Chain A
Amino acid sequence: MHDMSAHAAQHHAPTSFIRKYIFSLDHKVIGKQYYGLALIAVYIGMAISWLMRFHLAWTNARIPGLQWLSSVGAPGGLMTPEYYLELMTMHGTIMVFFVLTTAPFAGFGNFFLPIQVGAEDMPFPRFNMMSFWITFVAFCVLMSAFFVGDGPPLSGWTAYAPLSAVGAIAGPGQGTGQVLWAISIALFCVGQLLGSLNFITTTLDLRTKGMTLMRMPLTVWAWFITSCMGLTAFAVLLPACILLILDHVAGTSFFIASGLVINDKMLPHSGGSTLLWQHLFWFFGHPEVYIAIVPGVGIVSHVLITNMRRPLLSHKVMIGCMGALAFLSYMVYGHHMFVSGMNPFSGLVFSFPTLVITIPATIIVLIWIFSLYGSKLRINSASLFALGFISMFVSGGVSGFFLAQPSLDIYLHATYFVVGHFHMVMAVAALFGIFTGTYFWFPKMTGHMMNESLGKLHFWLTFVGTYAIFMPFHYLGMAGNVRRYQAFVDDYMQPLLGVHKFITIAALLTGAAQLIFLYNLIHSRFRGAPAPPNPWEATSLEWTMPSPPPFDNFGGKHPVVYHDPYQYGIEGSSNDYVMQDSPEQIHTVRDEK
């Protein structure tokens, strides 16, 4: 294995403010910029969800001040049906793309991947800088949809055709708003493709001396596997968005069939396929949800190991399972389309890999849980969120058993059962992964410790709160409560309104608890106790450097790696752990057979 680190782009320490903090080529600054973008996005997305939940619970009530956000969407503070759907679309789009794909992958990955493999930066720092700024522009384009005449699109983050393709005639926001959405997502794809390129080449080519593939921490494996998914998945979404834009502006009919009559007008289109959009979107969409969760799996493993003071029962099996999840994720996408009008035989074909994907997911959870056996578990904010991730991943995962079966999907499709499933298994779990990473790595990234008491308080309120919000979604779904409704006017949904009120109150309280986190972040950044280089007594390379790391990571030197990443519980060593770059000779702790 040759030492490629000499080939990392050499750049001098930046001196100007713009070069240091704005157009920086430094992967650590870029990582923080991504994290900062996700932080802004998540609070906007969460605030939108408060408006949505409030409206669902008290549909005919005025929300004072909402008319200033949109005088058309909420005249006098009364939310119109279309504004609810527009908020819902923006909530999903902001959260899936600009939070869940951004923070765990682009945020932490950019900061720590080069460091954890011993590189001084990524091989294409200019692409890396561009990838962030393209993502930032994509976010601005998306947010601009709030301010265009007709508002943001109302077709959901999934933007099914022909609703998303025929233009303003289908409803408010479906003209300019939908085109802005498609442009934003297309730009986002480009940013992610550039980012994935950097991640893959860093992992394969820039590992330092002694850093074999098997000596890479699980976070690096997670980011590497995620970027392989990203390269292929975003490469399909990008042309799909372009085709959608063409249907709007160039009069094409990629997704629009002939003979459609909307608002008493016969549309001139012909030859297009409604289902084509769904196939393209979900071919991207299913790997996307694994892109959202696999970095969290890596981070949880990494943090849990440190706080258990022992490696996982099998490092190799964990890597294999993450890879299996990624591989299988391409074969299951049709489970979003069981009742879509797709050939029912295809439905059966898609259901089997969907059921099979439970196996690697189960193994991952079992490895975590049974690595706790005999461990010396430390409880702190980071490990609490890591353990919370496991609980949430299990809860969200078992509802997948139901949805994987087409016969049950007949009943559960498009109900709150689905919404509960993906919020628990993806949204909350990935969010817990972000919190785990934050509490764990904040000292390294900023040089300050976070407030541990506030962290624990944040954990308790969030753990109990998110269960209180999302577990009832499953009961609503079993009762047949349909999703994407701005109000529940149907007879059979009336008895369920009380559940919705409970959920809304839980959501508002849990949301408020997130302000504790924000306060902790900001306050600790400026006033937190100074952080030592290795406050958690951890083994990977990021803990060998000062907090925060210098501009060129390893001070111009190339670290040499002697050990596997998780040498904890070492017998006969001065500590119960050995860092990867320590020349100390030890009896390596290896996988159990």
Chain B
Amino acid sequence: MAKLFAVTIFVIAIASAVPILMHTWPMPVDISTHGPLIDEQMADTMAEAGIAFLAAQIILAFFIWKFSGRPKDAKIGHFPGGAMALVIAAFLLVGTEVLALGVFGTKAWAAVYFTPPAADSMPIQVQAGQFAFYFRYPGPDGKFGTIHPDKIDEGNQNFFGLDPANDPAAKDDIVTAEMAMPVNKEVHLLMHSKDLGHSFYVRELRVQQDFVPGLDLSLHFTANKIGKYEIVCTQLCGLGHYNMKAYLEVMSQTDFDSWLKQQAANQ
């Protein structure tokens, strides 16, 4: 039975690696400017984790095969170097590997969080609330009107609680249910929550950030590929969490301009 177990471990290890090596269920193609750093980090980690995984499982299987069913009078052998060799190996191999990953990974993290948004980035506000995302563009005046939570009236499409009658800055704000952005232009996404914790996740953009009630958070990113993508909520927010999403359309500048005009007409 020991040999069968050893073979089973071996087969499971190889079988587990196959879908990764064959890219059966791959990450989607990256469409962001900071994404390549993340993807490179992911590939490096996959290689190192994969080697560690396969090595450990195969050696385990090999030793189970070799050292079971030995005769009763067999001598106990000792791995050369003993525990000290293993401790040193762990520090050298695993220790340096994880530190390297940590140090190089800082660059990818910094690209997202430690660089300020560009001066000419386009501000878009997103509000998350059970169970939809709504977006707001500042309009020609470039200013966002004040939000009055007590004026929120979803039945009448006033999702942000704007008061255009009394607030000039709010008059030209454009509220939409889809997010559109021009390709190759940095967007500064201003995030707040209407009610509970939510999260903004677009796989292709390699961005994910929670909405925290009470905090105004922001992200900035640039998309470099035209297309239609999905923004999904990834922070459990209640029964409709699975159905909380919005489409993100990355468009050419001209298409974006006409889209925005169309949306403005519907306010």
Contact = CB atoms under 8 A, between A and B. Distances in A.
Q: Do chains A and B touch in the complex (CB under 8 A)?
A: yes
Interface of A: 80-82, 85, 154-156, 160-163, 166, 170-172, 256-264, 266, 272-275, 308-310, 312-314, 317, 339-341, 344, 347-348, 351-352, 355-356, 358-359, 362-363, 365-367, 369-379, 384, 387, 390-391, 394-395, 398-399, 401-402, 404-408, 410-411, 413-415, 456, 463-464, 467, 471, 475-476, 478-480, 482-492, 496, 499, 568-569, 576, 591-593
Contacts of B242: 81, 484-489
Given A81-B240, A348-B106, A317 B152 contact: no
A348 to B, nearest CB: 6
Given A391-B60, A479-B26, A464 B76 contact: no
Most chain A CB atoms below 10 A, which of B94, B108, B217: B94
Interface string B133-173: 00000000000000001101010000001000000000000
B59 interface: yes
A310 B87 contact: no
Contact of B38 (A404, A410, A569): A410
B37 interface: yes
B94 to A, nearest CB: 5
Contact of B238 (A170, A261, A347, A593): A170
Given A467-B12, A484-B241, A155 B68 contact: no
A82 B238 CA distance: 7
Interface of B: 1-2, 5, 8-9, 12, 16, 19-20, 24-28, 37-38, 41-42, 45-46, 48-50, 52-53, 56-57, 59-60, 63-64, 67-70, 72, 74-79, 82-84, 86-87, 89-91, 94-95, 98-99, 101-102, 105-106, 108-109, 112-114, 129-130, 149-150, 152, 154, 161, 193-197, 199, 201, 203, 206-215, 217, 230, 232-243, 245
Contacts of A310: 76
A263 B193 CA distance: 14
Given A170-B196, A266-B149, 8 more contacts: A310-B76, A341-B217, A344-B114, A347-B109, A362-B94, A363-B90, A373-B63, A401-B49
Contacts of B90: 359, 362-363, 366
B26 A377 contact: no
Nearest to B106: A348
A489 B240 CA distance: 11
B67 A373 contact: yes
Closest A-B pairs by Cβ, 7 of them? A374-B77, A257-B214, A592-B82, A314-B83, A407-B108, A344-B113, A480-B203
Contact of A313 (B38, B82, B95, B207): B82
A372 B234 contact: no
Given A355-B98, A487-B242, A405 B45 contact: yes
Contacts of B12: 391, 464, 467, 471
A478 B26 CA distance: 7
Contacts of B75: 374
Contacts of A309: 76
B172 to A, nearest CB: 24
B49 A395 contact: no
B98 A356 contact: yes
Contact of B212 (A80, A341, A378, A592): A341
18 contacts: A85-B241, A162-B197, A257-B213, A261-B152, A262-B195, A314-B83, A362-B90, A373-B77, A374-B76, A375-B76, A394-B53, A398-B49, A401-B49, A410-B206, A467-B16, A471-B12, A475-B25, A487-B242
Report which residue of A387, A402, A486 has the largest number of chain B beta carbons within 10 angstroms of its beta carbon: A387
